[in-house]
């Protein structure tokens, strides 16, 4: 009897599986969109690439093969289009964050501003955080940021100061990570991790790489977390994850007890004292804890990656490096004069262009932030997309779209210098990076859209087209609120480093201790390799530094 039941159950499962496959391939509302067959059948297939860290490259290949719109999950569509990107992530888009974001939070009852699915809750948190990262507030934290930048520059060149020659090979990415973690910890808690000076806590950043990998897998397949399969993934670093969480909780509690007694202005005090102008509400203790932890994660690796990528591409493009050296060394008479206002896009347009170009080629968030379409559906690129569909615009792929960027795989900072506006084109950062509000971003997009519609194909420049497709800080209501701090750190660190030191790639790639991505050997290629999780994980470049001869 049991054998018959087993046979019946097996047949039922097979029939159901075949029926489901046929439905997803041929009868599903999204069946008219092309994509890889296995991905259309199940999200578990794409999960493999999310785990491996090369989903961003895979999605780019799928778009090259299948076109502008790719179906890479039973209910998932990817749009390689700046228009669709603004339609998906715009303030009034009929979408919400997907359930997979829950895995990126620390508390189910008190989600942080990254994972808050409820738009009202997110709006409240966003309005508070916008005050935290205002230009005025950052200016008050300038000295603390500069102290850490000075430590970063000194660490990379310390050995060459003594020898007066080229110093030993240094892993630039490692130093960038230590600096950005030190800055954000100092600004959040008034106590940095001291990674640049002491080895004790240098295990700390690696914890967040595993968390980022887990988060990416959750965004692709939420059942991965629901079935607790992530326990196997995190087992090796579980103790370190608990240690990191404990450190952050202790610092948060200690800083909260200090209240406003802290002599220096910091992010924590601003969060404590800020009031939402719309509701009159303030952050609770739990809000302060989850938001400060989010800042520690989101405000460190992302900026470190952009800084490492900028140095990588400059080291592989000597002419660009020489051009930038000249700009920095002729603009500033002393290293100390390189401060917030001085290292601005207006003062150093080529520096800003190099940073933008590095973020275009190696965005810290390379994959498509997924959005679930709400009841009533949404129109994307003129097509009606039904409720329940997961949609997104893949940032890595969009940044290398030849429709928006001429010779998209090449490092060409000049593309950001609009000859018709001279250096002033950099005065307002590109959309997604230099606009205070999501509404301003959208107005900017529409301005470009209408400009292009009223311009002949012959006179429409790739420079004009680049802005709508450039989104290193995402776009719309959910874009990165800390873009000002990120640009400040990037401009100051690159400018001060290149003002004090000559820099070159280390003589041999064998000096690198980095682990190449799966299937990749160690390479000196101009392409900056990265593991594309929620936040990309990078290695290198390995460089040597020599103090400028005229400074001795």
8-state DSSP, 507: S
SS3 (DSSP) at 73:
strand
SS3 (DSSP) at 516:
coil
How many helices (H) and strands (E) would you count in the chain?
22, 12
Cβ proximity of 54 and 532 under 8 Å = yes
Cα 147 to Cα 128, 153, 196, 502, distances in angstroms = 27, 10, 11, 21
Measured CA to CA, the distance from residue 363 to residue 333 in angstroms comes to 32
Cα 436 to chain centroid, rounded: 18
Measured CA to CA, the distance from residue 199 to residue 142 in angstroms comes to 25
H or E segment and range at residue 542: strand 542-547
Counting Cβ atoms within 10 Å, is residue 439 exposed (0-12), middle (13-18) or buried (19+)? Answer: middle
Q: Token pair of 51, please?
A: 């785990």
Query: How big is the chain, counted in residues?
Result: 552
Q: Is 348 annotated as a binding residue?
A: no
Residue 539 makes CB contacts below 8 A (sequence gap 6+) with 171, 173, 512, 514, 515, 516, 529
Other residues' Cβ atoms within 10 Å of the Cβ of residue 464: 16
Give the residue carrying structure tokens 């700390």: 204
Q: Which residues sit in the known binding site for heme?
A: 480
Q: Which residues sit in the known binding site?
A: 480
């Amino acid at each position: 009897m049991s054998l018959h039941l087993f046979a019946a159950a097996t047949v039922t499962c097979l029939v159901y599986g075949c029926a489901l496959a046929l439905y997803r391939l041929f009868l599903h509302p999204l069946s008219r969109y092309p994509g890889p067959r296995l991905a259309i059948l199940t999200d578990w297939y794409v999960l493999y690439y999310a785990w491996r860290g090369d989903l961003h490259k895979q999605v780019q290949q799928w778009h090259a093969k299948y076109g502008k719109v790719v179906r890479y999950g039973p209910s998932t569509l990817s749009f390689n289009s700046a228009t669709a990107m603004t339609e998906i992530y715009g303030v009034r888009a009929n979408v919400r964050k997907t359930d997979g974001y829950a895995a990126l939070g620390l508390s189910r009852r008190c989600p942080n501003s990254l994972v808050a699915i409820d738009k009202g809750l997110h709006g409240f948190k966003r309005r508070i955080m916008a005050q935290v990262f205002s230009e005025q507030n950052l200016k008050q934290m300038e000295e603390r940021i500069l102290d850490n930048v000075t430590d970063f520059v000194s660490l990379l060149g310390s050995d060459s100061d003594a020898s007066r020659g080229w110093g030993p090979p240094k892993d630039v990415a490692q130093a960038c990570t230590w600096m950005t973690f030190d800055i954000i910890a100092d600004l959040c808690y008034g106590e940095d991790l001291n990674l640049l000076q002491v080895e004790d806590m240098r295990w700390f950043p690696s914890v967040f790489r595993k968390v980022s990998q887990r988060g990416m897998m959750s965004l692709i397949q939420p059942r991965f977390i629901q079935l607790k399969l992530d326990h196997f993934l995190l087992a090796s670093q579980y103790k370190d994850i608990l240690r990191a969480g404990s450190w952050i909780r202790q610092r948060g509690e200690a800083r909260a007890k200090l209240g406003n007694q802290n002599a220096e202005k910091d992010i924590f005090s601003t969060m404590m004292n800020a009031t939402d102008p719309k509701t009159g509400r303030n952050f609770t203790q739990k809000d302060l804890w989850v938001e400060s932890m989010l800042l520690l994660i989101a405000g460190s690796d992302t900026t470190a990656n952009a800084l490492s990528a900028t140095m990588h591409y400059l080291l592989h493009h000597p002419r660009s490096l020489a051009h930038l050296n000249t700009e920095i060394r002729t603009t500033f008479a002393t290293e100390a004069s390189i401060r917030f206002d001085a290292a601005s896009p207006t003062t150093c347009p080529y520096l800003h262009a190099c940073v933008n170009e590095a973020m275009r080629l190696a965005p810290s968030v390379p994959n498509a932030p997924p959005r679930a379409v709400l009841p009533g559906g949404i129109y994307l690129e003129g097509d009606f997309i039904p409720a329940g569909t997961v949609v997104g615009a893949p940032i890595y792929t969009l940044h290398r779209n030849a429709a928006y960027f001429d010779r998209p795989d090449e490092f060409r900072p000049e593309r950001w210098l609009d000859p018709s506006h001279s250096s002033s084109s950099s005065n307002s950062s590109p959309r997604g990076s230099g606009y205070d509000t999501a509404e301003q971003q959208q107005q900017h997009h529409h301005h470009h859209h209408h400009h292009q519609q009223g311009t002949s194909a012959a006179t429409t420049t790739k420079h004009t087209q680049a802005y709508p497709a450039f989104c290193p800080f995402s776009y719309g209501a959910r874009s990165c609120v800390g873009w000002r701090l990120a640009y400040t750190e990037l401009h100051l660190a690159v400018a001060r480093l290149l003002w004090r030191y000559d820099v070159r790639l280390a003589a041999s790639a064998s000096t690198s201790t980095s682990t190449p991505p799966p299937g990749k050997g160690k390479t000196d290629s101009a392409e900056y390799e990265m593991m594309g999780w929620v936040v990309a994980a990078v290695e290198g470049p390995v460089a040597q530094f020599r103090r400028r001869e005229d400074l001795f």
